[in-house]
Structure 1
């Protein structure tokens, strides 16, 4: 048994690890192996959706082969362990890019499908599952299911955003998007309050592909930095040098604390305000800023951290976000990494997909035990009253009743669960 943690580093639970790297042997390994088990890619989920404490993890990063690509249509077929990073690096020079990508490129294709990840362009292109054309799914009883938007759509809808619980995603076909190069035309705009944020967000949807905002969650005013961008053709430009650094150790206490939060947020806001205006940015720095600091999750110290990401309906979104920010300010806790953005008016493909029309706020919190949980309980009450939901890929402690209320298709999804697959999250929120 090997201790394994998710990105939040809240625990190090024992697992039996089974490495998958030979497609010809996978069916026998899955069917004859111990159950319950769970697919595990890069482990970038924050809570227990990627963990199976005291059970088996199928390590999928060895399933990293590209199977086929049509350079005229942009259709890519690959194994589920391929990293989004490798797709971007290989195909952007050929004129194709992933249509949707989350805040890190260190995610497998299987993980991106299982969590139906979203990016900064939901208002135009939806989430990752909107661009998946086919999934090859292996059940623990040996059944192989090919599903997609036009074929066994019920299985497709259960698997996209299905948290890895319908079977092992072995292979996928994805529609890439034409692109002229790796550069984006970016505009950075400081704002003073939530009124200004929503005016910027609503006014940017038609003409800007990507929109996102950093928000100062402890200022009390709702001020922040709004960023919007479009891919662009800049001609020949030198690629940026690799400037990746590593958080070299785990500090004895969290570096995110009441002494550091306020000066950091003040400094960050004023630095970005000084940099306001138009600029050209490489896709990696715009889409994946945190990937430049490897192992950044160590900064929260030995107790780890939580991320709390919610979405609430747009018509009450401003009032709800303001109430959440006030509650966070009263708690004395806060976040360096507070992201506010809007989702477009479109329904998700998956039964358990997180995105819904509205506004989403994501914040990281150091683990202070009971104090942190008390804050989350107060935020839960706000989300429950608003008819919102919490993102399972980021969750480590959501109450079961809030999960059931936020995901009304849960009972339909249960029919498609593979009885040989389980996770810490599924046992916590759905039972055995």
Structure 2
């Protein structure tokens, strides 16, 4: 048995860990076992990628099968890492249609979580761009599904957290880009109302995201920096960075966190000081467009190796909710007030605007999503229970790929298509066969 955790290092569970070396090995491994879930790079924050009995590692399924440079159509095995796709195709002038906040994820994981990026308000989640996928079912049968073939299975698998089958292969289209630079514009928001207004005003931008100072108090509650960006053209680079390389490489050298930091390292004083410096630096660069390489714009924390150790041995939880537009200002304000009142700070607090989604268990819905990293403690877990009540009352929900502790009641209140998803799982024979620690906890 092997002890596994998600990226948050909480909770930890023992499971049998096996791996599939080729796609052909998956059906028999799946048919022979129960209580199994597939796992990619382990970047789900909580217990979604830990099998109730067995965890099937997919990282050896790392072959890129085919690419059409005219259409951008790419077919890869499910264990291919996003970082490898970027390394191969950015220099060739192509970029994935949607990327999450880390490039150290697999394509199978991106589909299972229906990951959303800074452009969800414009193009939806990653699942929107998957043309078809090959899925190994609990019976050992392998099927191909798309929006026109095995449609219901396709809709359940996008955002289905690996609970319908093991994704073996997928096809999607990359988008053409002229350079590897982002033309970024920073807007300063003095409070939460201004931040939401600024995100709404930047909805025409291809990408937009807000960093929030979650410890700002009083009239400055929710003060933010909004980063709107576009893929820069050759003309932009030649104008703003004459002589610069058109496709800057991803960062090779990374600073790493060598040890688990003590609890006081993320106390209110240290987080407040960091937030103040970060906010002031953003103010200096606001008001005019400038160029940023693609890597730090999309994946700022990937430049810090093992950054999850910042939160110490007990780990952390990422609390990510989405709130409908009509309730966003009041609900998000109440959430931030509760956090500042308790004094538990998050140096990573992100606000984004989302559009609708199509997967039965996909997290996004039209509204605003807030993501907070908080160190695990009894007080924090109690606080999150209180925040759950606020989210449910507002008609919102929590992201399964980030969840480590919500109750079945909170989950059921937020996902109206759950019964349909469960019916499909029963029809597939997956309800007792494909079981993660998350699905067992939430009775999915």
**1:209 matches 2:206:** yes
- Render the CA deviation track for 1:270-322: whole Å, top value 9, x for unaligned: 12212223210111110000000010000100100011100011122111111
Structure 2 distance, partners of 1:258, 1:194, is 20
Q: What runs of 5+ residues in structure 2 fail to find an aligned partner?
A: none
Structure 2 distance, partners of 1:29, 1:35, is 10
Matching residue of 1:374: 382
Query: Is contact 2:211–2:351 with CA below 8 Å preserved after alignment?
Result: yes
Shift of 1:94: 2.0
Structure 1 distance, partners of 2:352, 2:25, is 43
What aligned pairs does 1:355-366 form with structure 2 within 5 A after superposition? 355-366=364-375
Structure 2 distance, partners of 1:148, 1:342, is 27
**Counterpart pick for 2:361 among 345, 352, 355:** 352
Query: Is contact 1:254–1:299 with CA below 8 Å preserved after alignment?
Result: no
Structure 2 distance, partners of 1:140, 1:352, is 19
Structure 1 distance, partners of 2:389, 2:257, is 35
Matching residue of 2:39: 40
Shift of 1:252: 3.8
For residue 78 of structure 1, give the secondary structure of its aligned residue in structure 2: strand
**Counterpart pick for 1:312 among 317, 323, 332:** 323
Matching residue of 1:427: 440
Structure 2 distance, partners of 1:416, 1:299, is 41
- Render the CA deviation track for 1:333-352: whole Å, top value 9, x for unaligned: 120000011113xx312000
- Render the CA deviation track for 1:52-78: whole Å, top value 9, x for unaligned: 24x111100000001111111111111
Matching residue of 1:19: 19
Query: Is contact 1:134–1:172 with CA below 8 Å preserved after alignment?
Result: yes
RMSD: 1.4
Structure 1 distance, partners of 2:92, 2:278, is 36
Instruction: Count matched residues.
Output: 425
Matching residue of 1:250: 260
Deviates most, 196-205 or 335-344: 196-205
Matching residue of 1:414: 422
For residue 30 of structure 1, give the secondary structure of its aligned residue in structure 2: helix
Shift of 1:178: 1.6
Structure 2 distance, partners of 1:349, 1:213, is 25
Matching residue of 1:123: 121
For residue 413 of structure 1, give the secondary structure of its aligned residue in structure 2: helix
State TM-score, norm by structure 2. Answer: 0.93
Structure 1 distance, partners of 2:29, 2:352, is 42
Shift of 1:95: 2.1
Matching residue of 2:229: 229
Query: Is contact 2:11–2:47 with CA below 8 Å preserved after alignment?
Result: no
Deviates most, 133-142 or 240-249: 240-249
Shift of 1:254: 5.7
Matching residue of 2:294: 283
Structure 2 distance, partners of 1:131, 1:219, is 38
- Render the CA deviation track for 1:121-178: whole Å, top value 9, x for unaligned: 0111100000000010001211112111121110000000001000000000112112
Structure 2 distance, partners of 1:253, 1:343, is 33
